[in-house]
Structure formats: C-alpha cells, structure tokens
C-alpha cells in the first residue's frame, strides 16, 4: 500500500505532550482491493488523534466506510456500513527508524477485519422464502428457565 501524506505521522512533532488531530475523508483506492464480491465506496472517513506516551506512538481512530457485499442466496450486492469505533494502535518509537509512521496499513487492516463475510438481504426478499424452513427460529425463554443474571 502506497503511503499517502495524510497517513504519515511525524513523531518529532509530538514531543512534550503534543497531539496531532487526524480528521480526513479519503478515497478508498488506497485499499487496493480488486474483488468482485467486495466493493468499497468512494471515500473513507476517519477521525482521531495521535500522541506519544512512554516512548510509544498512540493512534486513536474512528473509521467509517460503506461496502457492497453480495448475499449468498440471491447474489444481490447489498450496501453495508462498516464502523470501527475506538481503534487504538500502539507503536514503539524505537521501531519508527525514520521518525515518520505511515498508518495506512492500520486503517486497511481494521476495515478489512470489520467487514462482514456475508450480508443478509431484506426480510421481504422473494429468494429468502425458499430457505426460511432451514433458518433457525428464535425461541423465547420461558418463565421457568433459569437465568443466572436476572437478579443483577
């Protein structure tokens, strides 16, 4: 993944308790994903900050993106929102030899890990009718069942 300037954090600027605000909307092209079954929207939003604590670079981020993923039954591409809330990445300063840390891989990995492997169509999908008998039905817990946390 090519390093873009907005993904670079200069650690020498974060001395003496300084922090750097990270707030951008960037094209999803940097993800370099060429899949037919996973199409990311045009832009990714991220907000957060970077700072140094005890010789460690701390990056705190919230990420938001949208991706189209097919449902395995009807193969329709369905949009799903991907949110990574309160992502923290810790990088020891001594590992950052150049004094510049590129966090694009952190964003890429986090988004891919949070992307669901499948998406479910709307309940009104006509193709879903043929498989409903195979889907697990939610059962209500009866009044006589033991619930260990009911008195908390």
pLDDT of residue 41: 81
Per-residue pLDDT tens over the stretch 124-133: 666 666 666 6
pLDDT band at 82 (very low <50, low <70, confident <90, very high): confident
Contact 58, 28 (CB under 8 A): no
First-to-last alpha carbon distance for the chain, in angstroms, is: 49
| CA proximity to 77, closest of 49, 35, 132 | 35
Of the candidates 33, 24, 28, the one whose C-alpha atom is nearest the C-alpha of residue 5 is 24
**Using one digit for the tens of pLDDT, what is the confidence trace for 132-144?**
666 666 555 556 6
pLDDT, tens only, 35-73: 777 878 878 899 999 999 989 999 999 999 988 888 777
């Amino acid at each position: 993944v090519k390093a873009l300037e907005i993904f670079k954090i200069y650690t020498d600027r974060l001395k003496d308790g300084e922090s750097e605000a990270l707030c951008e909307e960037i094209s999803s092209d940097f993800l370099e994903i060429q899949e037919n079954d996973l199409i990311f929207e045009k832009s990714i939003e991220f907000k957060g900050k970077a700072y140094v604590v005890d010789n460690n670079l701390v990056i705190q981020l919230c990420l938001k993106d949208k991706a189209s993923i097919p449902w395995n039954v009807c193969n329709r591409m369905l949009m799903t929102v991907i949110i990574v809330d309160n992502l923290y990445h810790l990088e020891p300063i001594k590992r950052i030899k150049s004094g510049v840390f590129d966090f694009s891989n952190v964003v890429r990995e986090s988004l891919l890990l949070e992307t669901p492997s499948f998406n479910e169509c709307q309940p009104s999908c006509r193709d879903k009718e043929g498989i409903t008998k195979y889907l697990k039905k939610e059962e209500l817990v009866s009044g006589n069942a033991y619930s260990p946390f009911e008195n908390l």
